[in-house]
Chains A and B, each alone.
Chain A
């Protein structure tokens, strides 16, 4: 090329090298409509041939203003919005929010509710990992795994529908416990699922784990060290794939995770394959947790009895004046937690899902902020993909498992 071009990148010029701006390397816009950016993520790539020189993620296309909207709603109503953030981890979002509200209001959660919470969040983790497995395999064009994984996810969705009437946006976990007790079919359905899943995971592994083509696309690609992960605030399977056994379920147990016996799977490669290994092993560990929780599922109430926060059961409303007043107050004004601020975090399928909640003593949250794993994990995109091929870039996006609803909120 003889003539020098000048490329205008709409306010992003400072993020690119001199070579990109003069047209020596190619600037390629990937997304927000692209089959493998996993939602509406825009990546601006600088390519030298097919080698990625730089990646600038541009987020915000799925911004829904959830955090701000929640400030205008009472605590019960605000919870409904948490489902809509990370649509791969709806139950986990509910749990994180409810834990924050419970910490703020010092609510006790009955043991049965805690065990069911654990079962459901672990099922959600498996569902999320199944979707991840399917889509990231699809990114490498191994298309059948996707459809197989969807079949198992469907079983989980059916279980969610069974307990809550909804497949995705369940809002089943409520401050102080659960919406209602699980139906009698629940235990059989979960047991059937945990019987089937390990065998199916073996099948998927036989398709992928030792497949030389799959290994060629995953081993040694997108490497990050544990120190680098910590510096960037990366959590979840990406961190564990770099060899650091950090899992909030062990480090700061919540919902009674300390009662269950499970391992934190880690891998040392720090590459796509290591993250794959970790997630597959996590699915098996989740099955282990679910089995223990089911075996020791206690009987009893599933909601706290603190009538200042928890609406009375329907049966009491017809007979008890006090119950009727509580019900009326809770569903019109909402409950008023004490003023103060709390932070809770859970180990979501993508990493640490944290909730910061500030209350001014009114029935609506003063400020609520989510520390979402996808937002933090997306930062390392550029670091991971420099020097790799465009073909590997999609594998890398898949391996850090971002959910744009979670990232943009």
Chain B
């Protein structure tokens, strides 16, 4: 690979594009969620700002920017300010390893539709997602608020119980593709079928574990509004609050993107060899479907109690994920992988 100035510009542009996609995606995921929830709950949802409410996220953003930022007098100020940053940055950089489409050629130059093709992409995802829980725990602790502390502690307890199952759910596609690179995993799916058909159990375990990962209902106990007012972000206001909110939604998008890549064939779809630009369209479509699933769950299910989540994580999800790994490995040994 030749690193020239054009290459660097390409990286910069792609990074900016991913950041913009994540932040704009965050804004419109909130609208998407509110609209879908509203229709499921026989109401209209936001429909005042702009036609059909499409400017609602903008209005919300402006409101949050102009809100007063309060820091509690007895809070640990440095950590209090850093915590939202620690939460939001990992969420923004997770999607860097996800391929968006096949290579395209513009002006004689081949452009890869991904930012980085690292051979340990899955490990990278695992490690980066784990960082953001520090932000939540620290936010809860530094607020010097009992509700926030309980929320922070719960998120720690929650993380212990789902991370193992999540890691093991990744193993299935890795074994099938014989690689940890997401590009290779997508390529392997291009040759066979989307891995959800070969790994139905793995896909289900992945989806359950990521709901816990992104603190969504029914596993949203770190912020359980009804019990802990707002959990770890009780004391946050203005843009600092918005950063937590942003992290949650960007992580929703990120885990849906990764889920789509690992199990639904990523950017793959018909007519891709004719029009490579369809790749990102397919990926976004699959992400929207997974997001719909997350929203649907929120509209339907009551919250699970956190001790039950831990029991569920350790006693149900973890053994099932192990079983899945064993079955996949046995299958590959018997019938041949790749």
Contacts and interface: CB of A to CB of B under 8 A. Distances in A.
A143 B300 CA distance: 7
Chain A binding surface SS class: helix
Contacts of A28: 146-147
Contacts of B308: 216
A35 B226 contact: yes
Given A35-B229, A144-B40, A151-B42, A213 B306 contact: no
Nearest to B218: A213
Contacts of B228: 390
A391 B164 CA distance: 25
Interface string B301-326: 11111111000000000000000000
Interface residues of A, number: 30
Nearest to B217: A141
Given A35-B229, A151-B42, A213-B218, A391 B306 contact: yes
Contacts of B225: 35, 141
Contact of B301 (A142, A391, A394): A142
B226 A141 contact: yes
Given A217-B305, A391-B305, A142 B226 contact: no
A141 B226 CA distance: 7
A214 B299 CA distance: 14
Interface residues of B, number: 28
Interface in A124-150: 137-144, 147-148
Contacts of A393: 227
Given A35-B229, A391-B221, A142 B300 contact: yes
B302 A142 contact: yes
Contacts of B300: 142, 144, 207
A392 B302 CA distance: 12
Contact of A389 (B41, B146, B305): B305
A34 B226 CA distance: 8
Contacts of A50: 150, 306
A151 B42 CA distance: 8
Contacts of A143: 41, 298-299
Contact of A140 (B40, B43, B298, B302): B302
Interface string B217-237: 110110011111100000000
Nearest to A215: B302
B218 A141 contact: yes
Interface in A142-173: 142-144, 147-148, 151
A232 to B, nearest CB: 25
A26 interface: yes
A211 interface: yes
Contacts of B218: 141, 213
A36 interface: yes
B224 A391 contact: yes
B41 A148 contact: yes
Interface string A26-63: 10100000111000000000000010000000000000
19 contacts: A138-B226, A141-B218, A141-B301, A141-B303, A143-B41, A143-B298, A147-B43, A148-B41, A211-B301, A213-B304, A217-B305, A390-B150, A390-B227, A391-B221, A391-B224, A391-B303, A391-B306, A393-B227, A394-B227
Given A148-B42, A390-B228, A391-B306, 11 more contacts: A36-B227, A139-B226, A141-B220, A141-B226, A142-B300, A142-B302, A144-B299, A147-B42, A207-B300, A213-B304, A217-B304
A-B pairs with the 8 shortest C-beta distances? A141-B303, A140-B302, A147-B41, A142-B302, A36-B226, A139-B226, A391-B305, A144-B299
